[in-house]
Amino acid sequence: MVYDWIVVGGGIQGTTIAAFLVKNNKVSPGKLRIIDPHKMPLFQWTKNTEKIGMKFLRSPFVHHLDVDPFSLRSFAVNHQWKKSEFYGMYKRPSLEIFNEHSQSLFQDLGLGESWHQGYVNGIDRANDEWNISLDEGDRLKSKKVVLALSINDQLYVPEWAHSIMHENNQLFHIFDEAADFSALQPPISVVGGGITAAHTAIKLSALYPGQVTLIKRHPFRVCDFDSDPGWLGPKYQKNYQ
What's phi and psi for 2, nearest 5 deg? -105, 120
Q: Specify the higher pLDDT residue, 49 or 165.
A: 49
The four Cα atoms 175, 180, 181, 187 give a dihedral, to 10 degrees, of -100
Q: Specify the higher pLDDT residue, 225 or 30.
A: 30
The four Cα atoms 66, 36, 178, 201 give a dihedral, to 10 degrees, of -10
Q: Which pLDDT belongs to residue 159?
A: 87
Among candidates 60, 110, 96, which has minimal Cα distance to 232? 60
By the 8 A CB rule, do 142 and 130 touch?
yes
User: Which residues are within 8 A (CB) of 202 and not within 5 positions of it... i.e. 6 or more apart?
Assistant: 53
pLDDT digits (tens, 9 = 90+) for 51-70: 999 999 988 999 999 999 99
Q: Which pLDDT belongs to residue 158?
A: 87
Of the CA atoms within 13 Å of residue 69, those in its CB half-sphere come to 5
Per-domain boundaries in the chain: 2-147, 159-215
Does residue 38 surpass a pLDDT of 80? yes
By the 8 A CB rule, do 120 and 133 touch?
yes
Q: Specify the higher pLDDT residue, 32 or 169.
A: 32
pLDDT digits (tens, 9 = 90+) for 77-95: 999 999 999 999 999 999 9
pLDDT digits (tens, 9 = 90+) for 127-154: 999 999 999 899 999 999 999 998 777 8
108: confidence class by pLDDT, cuts 50, 70, 90: very high
Domain 2-147 class? alpha beta
Q: Which pLDDT belongs to residue 75?
A: 97
